[in-house]
């Protein structure tokens, strides 16, 4: 199953790849790929290795891995491996859904138009590395418009930023300074995710935001000042109500500046 | 002869208003209130960081491309600021009310 171009060296997960190879042996599949934080260089000691398997249709052999509905199956004999089996029909439906997503309409119809599992599948297809069926994998990946995925994430994140911003305004106006400050800080964090999506990032996991921003700053050093202000805002919250009110105003003003930059990209 | 207060005053964006780009242009939003603005007003909005007087705004807004002299540019800026302030989208503060401690804009940081 593992080809000569197996990604063991690049992923640093040779033992797990051997386990994957033995589990996939005999399964009627079109392609399989490894993905997740390990494939993206964002991993740590607790990271799972995600394996996606594409089958033409559900079969007895594929059922050994799990239901062909995209749901994840934890492989207990190798505690870093999760499987998700997708049928060709399900993937094709997702390709059409992404193509038909109501982008640019300026409405909330786009909010959570795709499911969490679908967004994750798309991103992990984008960053994945094949363990078998490399040509089919390349064909599959080329059939998706990942720029459209980034745009989808951007438009969703705009709605999230707007809701958080308005929450903070409403809370501070009502005198709930602490709640407003927490919500304003969240608005700031969400605005930085928006910036990532505006630059084509399709990893939507909050837990990776910092590492992704670090990479973005390496690509674009002009963002250093902006990042410094971001960190200064999220790292410390004041204590008194007066200071909290000032903090909310500063945080929301900063988030607006980030949105403006992201919208300009 | 001293200048009129409005020329040296410093407009600053209202803290509870956000600007968003929509398919038909930019809008300012305060909770449920939505206020459409022109491209010129959007330019002004972006520059209203509490650091710039109206005179400074007029100078910053690419005067050569406005095809008008400085006095005319200032009149246009003043009219736009008054319109935005009347809707509560901008606060107009006396010169020096905010001072140099205000943060630079993200757009400046990017540049």
A263 contacts B31? CB cut-off 8 A: no
Q: In the structure, how many helices (H) and strands (E) does chain A have?
A: 12, 5
**Using one digit for the tens of pLDDT, what is the confidence trace for A80-123?**
788 889 999 999 999 999 999 999 877 778 888 899 999 999 99
Task: Give the whole-angstrom CA distance, residue B53 versus residue B34.
Answer: 26
Contacts B107 to A, Cβ<8 Å = 257, 260-261, 264
- Residue A202: pLDDT band (50, 70, 90) is very high
- Residue A207: pLDDT band (50, 70, 90) is very high
Beta-strand relationship, A31-35 and A49-55: antiparallel
Across B5-13, average pLDDT: 83
**C-alpha distance across the termini of chain A, in Å:** 42
Contacts B13 to A, Cβ<8 Å = 253, 256
Of A106, A165, A256, the CB nearest to B23: A106
Least confident of A160-164, A235-239, B6-10, B39-43: B6-10
Burial string for A106-123 (b: 16+ CB within 10 Å, else e) reads beeebeebbeeebbbbbb
Provide the pLDDT for residue A99. Answer: 95
Contacts A151 to B, Cβ<8 Å = none
- Residues of A at the B interface, defined by Cβ within 8 angstroms: 104-106, 158, 162, 165-166, 169-170, 173, 222-223, 225-226, 229, 248-250, 252-254, 256-261, 263-264
In terms of CA atoms, which chain A residue is nearest residue B42?
A: A260
- CB-CB contact of A109 with A100 (8 Å): no
Count interface pairs A-B at CB distance under 8 A: 59
Q: For the whole model, what pTM was predicted?
A: 0.85
Secondary structure string (H, E, C) spanning A90-106 = HHHHHHHHHHHCCCCCC
Of A104, A248, A256, the CB nearest to B18: A256
Q: Which of A217, A216, A185 is nearest to A199 (CA)?
A: A216
Q: What percent of chain A has pLDDT over 70?
A: 89
B15 contacts A225? CB cut-off 8 A: no
Q: Which helix (H) or strand (E) holds A51?
A: strand A49-55
**Best to test chain B binding among A260, A262, A263, A264 (most B CBs inside 10 Å):** A260
B101 touches chain A (CB under 8 A): no
Give this complex's ipTM: 0.79
Provide the pLDDT for residue A1. Answer: 31
Across A195-203, average pLDDT: 96
B15 contacts A249? CB cut-off 8 A: yes
Q: Write the DSSP assignment of chain B as a string of letters.
A: -PPPHHHH-EEEE-TT-EEEEETTEEEEEETTEEEE--HHHHHHHHH-BSS--HHHHHHHTTHHHHTS-HHHHHHHHHHHHHHHHHTTSEEEE-TTSS-TTSPPPHHHHH-
List B22's β-bridge partners, or say none.
B25
Distance of CA A127 to the CA centre of its chain: 11
Provide the pLDDT for residue A189. Answer: 98
Task: Give the whole-angstrom CA distance, residue A262 versus residue A155.
Answer: 11
**Best to test chain B binding among A232, A257, A258, A265 (most B CBs inside 10 Å):** A257
**Using one digit for the tens of pLDDT, what is the confidence trace for B82-103?**
999 999 999 988 876 654 333 3
B107 contacts A261? CB cut-off 8 A: yes
Neighbours of B34 (CB within 10 A): 11
**Using one digit for the tens of pLDDT, what is the confidence trace for B51-83?**
888 888 888 876 555 566 777 888 889 999 999
Give the tokens for residue A209.
Answer: 């935001």
**Using one digit for the tens of pLDDT, what is the confidence trace for A22-50?**
888 888 899 999 988 888 888 877 777 88
Q: What angle do CA A256, A205, A214 make, to 5 degrees?
A: 65
Q: Which residues contact A72 (CB under 8 A, 6 or more apart)?
A: A50, A66, A82, A83, A84
Helix axes A177-198, A241-264, angle to 10 degrees: 20
């Amino acid at each position: 199953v593992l080809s000569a171009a197996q990604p063991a060296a690049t992923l640093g997960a040779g033992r797990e790849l051997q386990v994957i190879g033995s589990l996939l042996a005999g399964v009627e599949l079109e392609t399989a790929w490894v993905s997740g934080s390990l494939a993206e260089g964002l991993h740590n000691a607790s990271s799972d290795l995600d394996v996606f398997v594409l089958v033409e249709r559900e079969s007895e052999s594929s059922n050994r891995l799990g239901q062909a509905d995209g749901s994840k199956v934890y492989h207990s004999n190798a505690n870093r491996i999760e499987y998700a089996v997708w049928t060709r029909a399900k993937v094709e439906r997702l390709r059409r859904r992404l193509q038909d997503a109501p982008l640019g309409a300026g409405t909330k119809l786009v909010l959570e138009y795709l499911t969490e599992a679908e967004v994750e599948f798309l991103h992990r297809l984008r960053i994945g590395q094949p363990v078998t069926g490399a040509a089919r994998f390349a064909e599959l990946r080329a059939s998706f418009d990942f720029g459209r995925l980034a745009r989808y994430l951007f438009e969703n994140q705009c709605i999230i930023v707007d809701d958080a911003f308005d929450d903070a305004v409403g809370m501070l106006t009502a005198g709930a300074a602490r709640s407003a400050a927490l919500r304003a800080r969240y608005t700031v964090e969400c605005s930085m995710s928006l910036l990532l999506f505006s630059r084509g990032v399709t990893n939507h996991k909050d837990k990776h935001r910092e590492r992704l921003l670090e990479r973005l700053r390496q690509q674009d050093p002009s963002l250093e000042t902006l990042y410094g202000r971001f960190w200064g805002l999220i790292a410390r919250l004041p204590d008194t109500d007066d200071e909290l009110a000032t903090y909310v105003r500063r945080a929301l003003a900063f988030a607006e500046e980030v949105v403006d930059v992201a919208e300009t990209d | 002869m001293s200048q009129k207060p409005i020329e040296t005053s410093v407009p600053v964006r209202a803290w509870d208003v956000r600007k968003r780009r929509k398919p038909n242009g930019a809008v300012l939003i305060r909770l449920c209130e939505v206020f459409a603005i022109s491209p010129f007003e959007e330019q002004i909005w972006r520059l209203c960081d509490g650091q710039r007087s109206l005179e400074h705004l007029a100078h910053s807004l690419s005067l050569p491309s406005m095809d008008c002299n400085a006095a005319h540019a200032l009149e246009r800026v003043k009219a736009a600021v008054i319109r935005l302030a009347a809707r509560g989208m901008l606060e107009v503060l006396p010169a020096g009310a905010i001072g140099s401690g205000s943060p630079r804009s993200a757009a400046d940081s990017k540049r």
